Amino acid sequence: MNRWLDRLITLLLAALIGWGGWSTLHWLIHGADWSVVTTNLPLYAVGSFPADQRWRPLVWMVGLVLLTVLTLLGPKRIGWRGALPLLWIAMAPIGLWLLVGGLGLLPVGTRDWGGLTLTLLLTAGSGMLALPLGVLLALGRRSALPVLRWSSTAYIELMRAVPLIAVLFFGQLLIPLFLPPGLEINRVLRAVVAFALFAAAYIAEDVRGGLQAIPPTQREAAEVLGLSPLQSLQLVVLPQALRIALPSLTNQAVGLLQNTSLMALLGLVELLGISRSLLANPAFIGRYLEVYLWLAAVYWLCCTAMALLARHLEVQLDPVRSNR
Amino acid sequence: MRKRRVLVQLALAALLVGFAALLVNNLTVNLIRTGLGLGFGWLGRPAGFALAETALPYAPSDSYLWALTIGWLNSLKVIVAGLALATLLGVGAGAARSSGNRLLRSLAGGYVALIRQVPLLLQLLFWYFVAFLGFPETPVGGLIKLSNQGIAVLGLNLSVEFCAVLVGLTVFTGASIAEIVRGGINAVPRGQWEAFRSLGLGEGLGLRRIVLPQALPAILPALTSQYLNLAKNSTLAIAVGYADLYAVSDTTITQTGRAIEGFLLLLASFLLLNLLISGGMAAVNGAVLGRLRRSR
């Protein structure tokens, strides 16, 4: 009887998948009009960056793609692999320089940033701010000093209680209120700061999980060896804790990339924002399905690439493997 | 050493207080400039805006406080329905991933791999603009009536916005719950499966009565954080125009300019919501652990 049930389920599912596949195929051939995607590719990639300067964000993104491919598929056991981490770290200042301009390049205002470039930049910028802040908060929450412990815990718990969209929205409204009059920071930077303040609370909890997994004997051993508390933290405890926290940090990073789409609700023209303005254009009215499928594919690719890179890093850092 | 610790803490406290004072000082200067001040008196004034969906009677002449309450109830409605449906979907998909049927297993795997790598906001927009608004008027068997005016299921009238948010949250959270359930099921020793099979129990019954109860202690804590995520994510309803707590707060703040008070109210509402969810889950967790202990 069980076998018959199994066959019935298979048959039903096959029928369902066949029907879904057939109607998708039918729509792709007869219904879909991809002009909303094909004619606007530059907009999706770089937003309204000046046309003669578009090569700058494009060079940066091509660099990122090349580096990803090299890291994941490049030949193993070759000396230059040691340079890869440095190259990855260098991509941030290079990207900023290419986008902002100066030092021989024409300056471009943040108003003209958009598309995938802005999405990647928001992710990278807020991630780089959030990681050190999160580590500090995690250390603070585990500190022996009550004042430090209470204030870190309060910050983490409050931030984790509110929805991200509220933090972003009030970040735009409130950050100017708390700054001295006359000092203004622009919208993109405000978004990055609010985003980082939010993400840091979640990163702190992941790092704390890693710190809790380190047995106290490690710290004691470091003390016996004559390491100062700071040295023991920096050389013994943190490297191990971060490695343990890496899988959950990866999830945070993928979440960070996905959540940059919320900036569209605040009027930033990152990937989703630019699509919203395209869909409001009478020439492309009603082309929701094409645009959303295209966006889903782009986001899916970026997130999957990030997850694969993080998995690669995990394997690289695995102590069993590197001791061999 | 002890003295040093106290000194460090005092310095830290002074630093924090100083920083807070600096912020508050800037705030007061800015508030004086805009001439707003702080206070909650405006909550009693008539809101003046209409709400598309109200659980209790509401008119634009009612107070801001009442409008916010209606928003809170709308949030609660979609969160409670979402929690129930996402749990069902997640447990189903999670169990399907360890099923003996290969097609079912890979279908569930594909669902999780696809949904978790696409932003929720994009999925919500898809459900609203493509799935629900793009749907032609098609009565399906007379039970479910889909139209762009709303959805009638067994005499229950639901708005398109509510359905889009509900389906979006359910599908998105369901994928995360499926992963948690799969992890929990995998943590149950294989011997338990062999044991119930050799006793002659069917797969479904064995899963429900033998495996899932033992997987629950591993599942529940992670499930709680997914529930909290769903509650927080429900605020994205503003993107499709569902009048939830956040959307009403947003309108209120835009009209009154009371950003700080509005933020404090929102914070309090979410603390209350989180407390309800984690309190409820703690009770469930306690009951499950207690039952497990008694049965051993």
B102 Cα to chain A: minimum distance (Å)? 8
Residue A115 forms beta bridges with which residues?
A270
Q: What is the average pLDDT across A41-49?
A: 84
Q: Does B167 touch chain A (CB under 8 A)?
A: no
Chain A's closest residue to B129, CA to CA, is A288
Alpha helical stretches, state H, chain B: 2-34, 64-97, 102-115, 120-125, 160-187, 190-198, 203-206, 212-233, 245-256, 259-295
Element spanning B144, H or E: strand B144-147
Residues of B in contact with A180 (CB under 8 A): 26, 29
- Residues of A within 8 A of B23 (CB-CB) are 178
Q: Tell me if A147 and B101 make a contact (CB, 8 A cut-off).
A: no
Cβ–Cβ of B271/A161 closer than 8 Å? yes
Closest B-chain CA to A271: B122
- Listed in sequence order, the residues at least 6 apart from A97 whose beta carbon sits closer than 8 Å to its beta carbon are A103, A105
State the pLDDT confidence band at A214, using cuts at 50, 70 and 90: confident
Q: Are residues A133 and A79 in the same domain?
A: no
Helix ranges (DSSP H) in A225-287: 229-232, 238-259, 271-279
What is the average pLDDT value for chain B, to the nearest integer?
85
> Does residue A76 share a domain with residue A133?
no
Are B232 and A162 in contact by the 8 Å Cβ rule? The answer is yes
Residue A29 lies in a domain: no
- Residue B34 pLDDT exceeds 80: no
CB contact under 8 A, A145 and B118: no
* pLDDT exceeds cutoff 60 at B72: yes
Is it the case that residue B173 has pLDDT exceeding 90? yes
Encoded tokens for A213: 């997994």
| Residue A172 maps to a domain | yes
Residue partners of B87: CB distance under 8 A and separation at least 6: B177, B223
Question: In this structure, are residues A50 and A103 in contact, taking their beta carbons and an 8 Å threshold?
Answer: no
Contact A296 B203 (CB under 8 A): no
pLDDT band at residue B235 under the 50/70/90 scheme: very high
Point out the domain boundary residue: A65, A83, A108: A108
The question of ipTM being above 0.90 is answered as no
| Subunit contact B101:A9, Cβ cutoff 8 A | yes
- Mean pLDDT across A185-194: 85
Indicate if A229 and A324 belong to the same structural domain.
yes
Whether A118 is covered by a domain: the verdict is: yes
When pLDDT is cut at 50, 70 and 90, the band that residue B146 belongs to is: low
Answer whether residue A143 is part of any domain: yes
Within 8 A of A177 by CB-CB distance, chain B residues are 26-27, 30-31, 259-260
Question: In sequence order, what E strands does chain A have?
Answer: none
Number of domains in chain A: 2
Most confident range (mean pLDDT) of A39-43, A80-84, A168-172, B246-250 is B246-250
Q: Are residues A171 and A317 in the same domain?
A: yes
* Domain end call among A108, A126, A154: A108
Contacts of A178 in chain B (CB under 8 A): 23, 26-27, 30
- Model pLDDT, residue A80: 67
Of A60, A83, A108, at which residue does a domain stop? A108
pLDDT at B220 over 60: yes
Judgement on whether residues A164 and A281 belong to the same structural domain of the protein: yes
pLDDT tier at B165 (50, 70, 90 boundaries)?
A: very high
Taking contacts as CB-CB distances below 8 angstroms, the residues of chain B near A6 are 100-101
Task: Give the residue, B5 or A307, on which the prediction is more confident.
Answer: A307
Distance from CA of A230 to the nearest CA of B (A): 16
Interface of B with A in 23-62 (CB under 8 A): 23, 26-27, 29-31, 33
pLDDT for A132 beyond 70: yes
User: Residue A278 sits in a domain of what CATH number?
Assistant: 1.10.3720.10
Q: Is residue A9 part of a domain?
A: no
What average pLDDT does this structure show over B205-218? 86
Q: Do B260 and A10 touch (CB under 8 A)?
A: no
Do A55 and A120 have their domain in common?
A: no
Kindly indicate the confidence band of residue B141, based on its pLDDT and cuts at 50, 70 and 90: very low
Kindly report the number of other CB atoms within 10 A of residue A271's CB atom: 29
Q: What average pLDDT does range B86-102 have in this prediction?
A: 88
CB of A84 closer than 8 Å to CB of A70: yes
Q: Are residues A115 and A102 in the same domain?
A: no
Tell me what pLDDT residue A324 has. 45
Using CA atoms, how far apart are residues B74 and A114, in angstroms rounded to an integer?
A: 34
Starting from the edge strand earliest in sequence, which strands make up the sheet with B150-153, in order? B138-140, B144-147, B150-153, B156-158
- Residue A225 and residue A297 in one domain: yes
Same domain for A104 and A119? no
Query: Rounded mean pLDDT of A235-242?
Result: 89
The per-residue pLDDT for B144 is: 58
CA A303 to chain B, closest CA, distance in angstroms equals 6
Distance from CA of A305 to the nearest CA of B (A): 10
Of the pLDDT bands very low, low, confident and very high (cuts 50, 70, 90), residue A77 is low
Listed in sequence order, the residues at least 6 apart from A125 whose beta carbon sits closer than 8 Å to its beta carbon are A192, A196
Give the DSSP H or E segment for B117.
none
**What pLDDT score was predicted for residue B23?**
80
**pLDDT mean over B200-209:** 83
Instruction: Report the pLDDT value the prediction gives residue B147, as an integer from 0 to 100.
Output: 60
Transcribe B213-277 into DSSP letters: HHHHHHHHHHHHHHHHHHHHHGGGGGGGT---HHHHHHHHHHHH--HHHHHHHHHHHHHHHHHHH
Interface contacts A/B by beta carbons within 8 Å: 129
Q: Can you give the pLDDT at residue B1? A: 65
pLDDT at position A256 is: 92
**Is the CB of A261 less than 8 angstroms away from the CB of B121?**
yes
Measured between CA atoms, the residue of chain A closest to residue B273 is A161
User: For a pLDDT cut of 70, what percent of chain A falls above it?
Assistant: 94
Of the listed ranges A99-108, A191-200, A274-283, B186-195, the least confidently predicted one is A99-108
- Do A116 and A68 share a structural domain? no
In this model, does residue B292 exceed pLDDT 70? yes
Dihedral Cα A307, A308, A314, A316, nearest 10 deg = -150
| Whether the Cβ atoms of residue A208 and residue A252 lie closer than 8 Å to each other | no
pLDDT band at B202 (very low <50, low <70, confident <90, very high): confident
Integer angstrom CA distances of residue A147 from A160, B20, B22: 20, 15, 19
Host domain of residue A117? 111-324
Phi/psi at B193 (5° precision): -65, -50
**B271 and A CB contact within 8 Å:** yes
Set out the domains of chain B in order of their start, with CATH numbers: 66-295 (1.10.3720.10)
Cβ contact A162–B270 (<8 Å) = yes
pLDDT in tens, B251-289: 998 888 888 888 889 989 998 998 999 899 889 888 888
Q: Between B117 and A49, name the one with better pLDDT.
A: B117
Measured between beta carbons, the chain A residues lying within 8 angstroms of B29 are 180-181
Whether residue A259 is predicted with pLDDT greater than 70 in this model: the reply is: yes
Asked if residue A43 is part of any domain, the answer here is no
Other CB atoms within a 10 A radius of the CB of residue A190 amount to 20
Domain co-membership, A301 together with A247: yes
Q: Are residues A59 and A184 in the same domain?
A: no
Read off the pLDDT band of B73 (50, 70, 90). Answer: very high
Which residues of chain A make contact with B246, given a CB cutoff of 8 A? 163, 165-166
Chain B interface, best mutation among A169, A185, A252, A279, by max B CB count within 10 A? A169
Q: Which residue of B has its CA nearest to A180?
A: B26
Min Cα separation B272/chain A (Å): 10
Residue A26 lies in a domain: no
**Sequence-ordered alpha helix ranges (H) in A142-186:** 146-161, 164-178
Residue B250 contacts A where some CB pair is shorter than 8 Å:
yes
The reply to whether A133 falls in a domain is yes
Find the mean pLDDT for residues B221-247.
91
Chain A: give the shortest CA distance to residue B294, in Å: 31
